[in-house]
Amino acid sequence: MEIMTDYLVIGSGIAGLSFALKAAKSGTVAIITKKERMETSTNYAQGGIASVVDINDSFDFHVRDTLKSGDGLCNKKIVDIVVKDGPERIKELIQFGVNFSQMSDGSGDLELGMEGGHSKRRVVHTKDHTGREVERALLEKVKENKKITVYEDHMAIDLITKSKLIKRGIISSETSESCWGAYVLNEDNGQVVTFIARITVIATGGAGKIYLYTSNPDIATGDGVAIGYRAGVKVANMEFVQFHPTCLYHPLAKNFLISEAVRGEGGILLDGRGNRFMEKYHPMKDLAFRDVVARSIYLELKKSGDECVYLDITHRSPDFIKERFPSIYENCLKYHIDITSQPIPVVPAAHYMCGGIMTDENGATNIKNLYAIGEVACTGLHGANRLASNSLLEALVFAKRAAERSEKELLENMHIPLSKAPLWDCGGATDSEEMIVVTHNWDEIRRTMWNYVGIVRTNKRLARARTRIENIQAEIREYYWDFIVTRDLLELRNIALVAELIITCASMRKESRGLHYNLDYPEKDDEHWKRNTVIWK
Ligand code: FAD
Ligand code: SIN
């Protein structure tokens, strides 16, 4: 089956939906998403969106905090662009119907949250479930738009690139590489659909599921980076995996974050004996940059042998806690933890991928007609460590810029007939009877990455991880070509590749900076390493 569209958007989070709403002004848009449309990291975002909206704040302060957090690797030009566009993007979300929390004084002013690394209150939020509210509003707008079609349970397998068409004798000319859509698995019937598009946008989010413990939902398997890399895009800074310091520690809780906003409202980190410890590590204490707090918790746990530390907000009134953090309160209560009277057991977990597909200031990749926006992209904003709540902001700003830029490219591509892509060839594939191998490999990758490529690394650990991942990749190659594709198998292939890319970048960087900490090179080395780690196939 073939579907033709002007724009193909892979992903229905804040980046994909925001892009689609703008692109629909100039063409037809197909959004594919591998589960239900709201099943995205966006939907689980808690703290909010960082932006300068208070008169006591300034663009300079937000820029300075972002640069400090990025530890020398942010692109200043990109930081300026994103920070300055923030207030407009917030206004637009409000016009779209997003209900942000307002001050209780009746002024109508936005209530601003505080998070680690920020020198001012600047996090626009909807209580502690900002992402759910933003996703709801964007999906409603998309539903009203007749030029946008959403395909749920459709998973992108690989991009259709010009070189693929040349290889199969469909196109003969050899000019620069370009993209013309994607092969997509329709999970309802197991068929592979060929989506042919003049512009393709990768908005597939992050890759937290590569690690055993993560705040991310199941969709976060790094598909976009893997798909892009196989097609020839440049990928950068994959060693900078952000670990959120405070995920709920409970045997039955899966992926539940305790927002940094809890520390922003006075929450204090305590060790197992009830002692504060962050003042030993950084003058900003519990509100230090995220890499510092996660590493400090790691060191405390290593020293004490404890399984978790605690986050204590009990000194605030129960009414305040329930009003400001209703979702966290309710969720913890399910595990018999009353956060108004008990400290919350927490541990760090993989949370955000600062690296990704390298793009320019308009979200364009090095392949023509192909864009990457949102968490999957490496724009230069985050450097070696993302500042809290800068991710949703980045997605909004780049969705707009990519839509404006790709509209021009769409016009240039209009004369090209779109009916020449080959259908997917599944060769002699049969149904796999040994899905247990897939499950086993999934588990091994996630444990390997957690144990050897986590918060603290060494050369030996990285080498061990590489050997294990290479063995698994050899097994996957056999499976991938011999059996009919399923989502599990495709995701496995992707997490293995992205794990390899993280290990490669981490092994290249012979220093410690931001989120990358290697005991064999504990110092920052500006002379040799104040630069991105860039790789491509
Ligand atoms: P996502 O929202 O993750 O959407 C990705 C989409 O791509 C999904 O629809 C998925 O199904 C689809 N997809 C993936 N692979 C494929 C494929 N192969 N084929 C088809 N579809 C595919 N950031 C902040 O700035 N502020 C916060 O307060 C904040 N809180 C967070 C809390 C949590 C628990 C988490 C997990 C993250 C948080 N973040 C926060 C980070 C932020 O939410 C994400 O970086 C951001 O939402 C990413 O948006 P996105 O549109 O790029 O991707
Ligand atoms: C949080 O609420 O702590 C998450 C914020 C973020 O990841 O930016």
Q: Write the DSSP assignment of 109-154 as a string of letters.
A: PBPEE--TT-SS--EE-STT-HHHHHHHHHHHHHHH-TTEEEETTE
Here the CATH number for the domain that contains residue 304 is: 3.90.700.10
Residue closest via CA to ligand 1's atom 24 equals 389
pLDDT at position 414: 81
- Residue 536 in any domain: the answer is no
Q: Which of 258, 309, 312, 241 is nearest to 281 (CA)?
A: 309
Ligand closest to CA 43: 1
**pLDDT confidence of residue 255:** 87
CA of 244 to the centre of ligand 2 (A): 8
Active-site entry in 290, 401, 446, 466: 290
Say whether both 165 and 136 belong to one domain.
Answer: yes
Q: How far is Cα 201 from Cα 181, in angstroms, rounded to an integer?
A: 9
Residue 436: predicted pLDDT? 81
**The ligand 2 atom nearest the CA atom of 115:** 3
Q: Active site includes 401? A: no
Please answer whether residues 210 and 221 qualify as being in contact, where contact means their C-beta atoms are separated by less than 8 angstroms.
yes
188 and 77 share one domain: yes
Whether 355 lines ligand 1, by a CB cut-off of 6 Å, is no
The total number of structural domains that make up the chain: 3
Does 487 contact ligand 1 (Cβ within 6 A)? no
* CA 380 – CA 314 distance, rounded (Å): 39
Q: Encoding tokens for residue 428?
A: 């002699």
Write out the E strands in 147-260.
148-151, 154-161, 179-186, 191-202, 235-236, 241-248
For ligand 1, is residue 246 a contact (CB within 6 Å)? no
Distance 505 CA to ligand 2 centre (A): 25
Instruction: Say how many Å lie between the CA of residue 292 and the centre of ligand 1.
Output: 23
Residues 327 and 364 in one domain: no
CA of 428 to the centre of ligand 2 (A): 46
Instruction: Please indicate, yes or no, if residue 484 is contained in any of the structural domains.
Output: yes
Q: Within a 13 Å sphere around the CA of 130, how many CA atoms are in the beta-carbon half?
A: 26
What pLDDT shows up at residue 483? 74
Q: Which residues contact 467 (CB under 8 A, 6 or more apart)?
A: none
How many Cα atoms occupy the beta-carbon half-sphere of 207 within 13 Å? 35
pLDDT value, residue 433: 65
Distance (Å) from CA 374 to ligand 1 centroid: 8
Residue closest via CA to ligand 1's atom 31 equals 45
Alpha carbon distance 227, 157 (integer Å)? 7
Q: Is residue 345 a part of any domain in this protein?
A: yes
Range of the domain at 265: 246-349
Contact 192/426 with Cβ under 8 angstroms?
A: yes
**CB of 155 sitting under 6 A from ligand 1:** yes
Asked if residue 327 is part of any domain, the answer here is yes
Does residue 207 sit in the same domain as residue 256? no
R_g (Cα) of the chain, nearest Å: 23
CA distances (Å), origin 333, targets 307, 317, 336, 339:
20, 17, 5, 8
Which ligand 1 atom minimizes the distance to the CA of 260? 28
Q: Looking at 349, 372, 392, which one is the last position of a domain?
A: 349
Q: Tell whether 183 and 197 lie within a shared domain.
A: yes
Measured from the CB, is residue 391 less than 6 Å from ligand 2?
A: yes
Q: Note the pLDDT of residue 485.
A: 83
Ligand nearest to the CA of 259: 2
Same domain, 202 and 251: no
Residue 417 CA, ligand 1 centroid: distance in Å: 34
The residues, ordered by sequence, that sit 6+ positions from 420 with a Cβ below 8 Å of its Cβ are 165, 170, 171
Residue 269 located in a structural domain: yes
Task: State if residue 242 touches ligand 1 by the CB under 6 angstroms criterion.
Answer: no
Q: Which ligand is nearest to the CA of 290?
A: 2
Q: Nearest C-alpha to atom 46 of ligand 1 is from which residue?
A: 42
Q: Based on the fold, state whether residues 229 and 256 are members of the same structural domain.
A: no
Tokens at 534, concatenated: 């860039």
Same domain (yes/no): 140, 188: yes
Give the domain-ending residue among 365, 381, 413: 413
> Is 85 part of a structural domain of the chain?
yes
What separation in Å is there between the alpha carbon of 390 and the centre of ligand 2?
9
Judged by its nearest atom, the ligand closest to the C-alpha of residue 223 is 1
pLDDT in tens, the chain (537 residues): 899 999 999 999 999 999 999 999 999 999 999 999 999 999 999 999 999 999 999 999 999 999 999 999 999 999 999 999 999 999 999 999 999 999 999 999 999 999 999 999 999 999 999 999 999 999 999 999 999 999 999 999 999 998 877 776 666 666 788 999 999 999 999 999 999 999 999 999 999 999 999 999 999 999 999 999 999 999 999 999 999 999 999 999 988 999 999 999 999 999 999 999 999 999 999 999 999 999 999 999 999 999 999 999 999 999 999 999 999 999 999 999 999 999 999 999 999 999 999 999 999 999 999 999 999 999 999 999 999 999 999 999 999 999 999 999 998 878 776 666 666 776 666 676 667 888 899 999 999 999 999 999 999 999 999 999 999 999 888 777 777 788 998 999 999 999 999 999 999 999 999 999 999 999 999 999 999 999 999
**Residue 419 Cα to chain centre, angstroms:** 33
Helix (H) and strand (E) counts for the chain?
A: 15, 18
Instruction: Tell me the angle at which helices 435-452 and 487-508 cross, rounded to the nearest 10 degrees.
Output: 20
Ligand 2 centroid to Cα of residue 45, in Å, is: 7
What lies within 8 Å, CB to CB, of 184 at 6+ separation is 32, 151, 154, 155, 156, 157, 192, 193, 194, 195
Q: Is 388 in the pocket of ligand 2 (CB under 6 A)?
A: yes
Q: Which atom of ligand 1 is nearest to the CA of 214?
A: 36
Ligand nearest to the CA of 346: 2
CATH number reported for the structural domain that contains residue 111 in this entry = 3.50.50.60
Structure tokens at 68: 């400090």
Residue 35 in contact with ligand 1 by CB distance below 6 A: yes
User: pLDDT value at position 81?
Assistant: 98
* Short-list 54, 41, 75, 89, CA closest to 393: 89
Is 45's C-beta closer than 6 angstroms to any atom of ligand 1? yes
Q: Whose CA is nearest to atom 4 of ligand 1?
A: 13
Check whether residue 221 and residue 142 sit in a common domain.
yes
Same domain as 358, residue 345: no
Q: What is the pTM of this model?
A: 0.97
- Element of type H or E holding 496: helix 487-508
Q: Is 261 in the pocket of ligand 2 (CB under 6 A)?
A: yes
Residues 384 and 481 in one domain: no
92 and 217 inside one domain: yes
Question: Of 135, 138, 130, which Cα lies nearest the Cα of 110?
Answer: 130
Quick check: is 171 in a domain?
A: yes
Under 8 Å between Cβ of 53 and 90: yes
Say if 452 falls within a structural domain: yes
Q: Is 507 in the pocket of ligand 2 (CB under 6 A)?
A: no
Residues 378 and 361: beta-carbon distance below 8 Å: no
The CATH number covering residue 468 comes to 1.20.58.100
